[in-house]
Amino acid sequence: MTDKSTLKYEPLKEIAGDEIPFPSSAQDLVGNPVFVRTVTFYYIGRLRTISPDGFYVLTEASWIPSTNRWANVMYKGCDELREVEPYPDNVPALINKDTVVEILPWNFPLPREQK
């Protein structure tokens, strides 16, 4: 992430300390692993670029058909994913920005094995 903005929020201090770095826009996440939640699907991959025609371009991508509890996935990573369907290494996933509900930093190894 290029922007090192900080959020100060009292209940999170116990978990993450005084300052929590977060991106101020999706552009700050380019080059980094991300978790993308669309209106119907989840994806995990490396955000390579945001195309001029409105797509997030993910490489090393996987479609995530099913997860365990949301908080468990965010705290524990790949072990909490029930199903993983990786894209082939040379196939990027293009996700229409209009379908995205949220895009989050993914602070774990990218899931590349089918599960």
Q: Which residues pair with 50 in a beta bridge?
A: 56
Q: Tell me, yes or no, if the pTM score tops 0.85.
A: no
Residue 4 domain-assigned?
no
Residue 12 domain-assigned?
no
How does pLDDT run across 13-50, given as a tens digit for each residue? 455 555 555 667 788 889 999 999 999 999 999 999 99
Domain that holds residue 49: 26-105
**Strand residues in 1-115 grouped as ranges (E):** 5-7, 20-22, 33-38, 42-50, 55-67, 81-86, 93-96, 100-105
- Collapse the DSSP code of 115 into the 3-class scheme (helix H, G, I; strand E, B; otherwise coil) and give the result: coil
CATH number at residue 48: 2.30.30.100
Residue 5 domain-assigned?
no
81: left (phi over 0), alpha (psi -120 to 50) or beta: beta
Residue 7 domain-assigned?
no
Number of structural domains found in the chain: 1
**Strand residues in 68-99 grouped as ranges (E):** 81-86, 93-96
Residue 63 domain-assigned?
yes
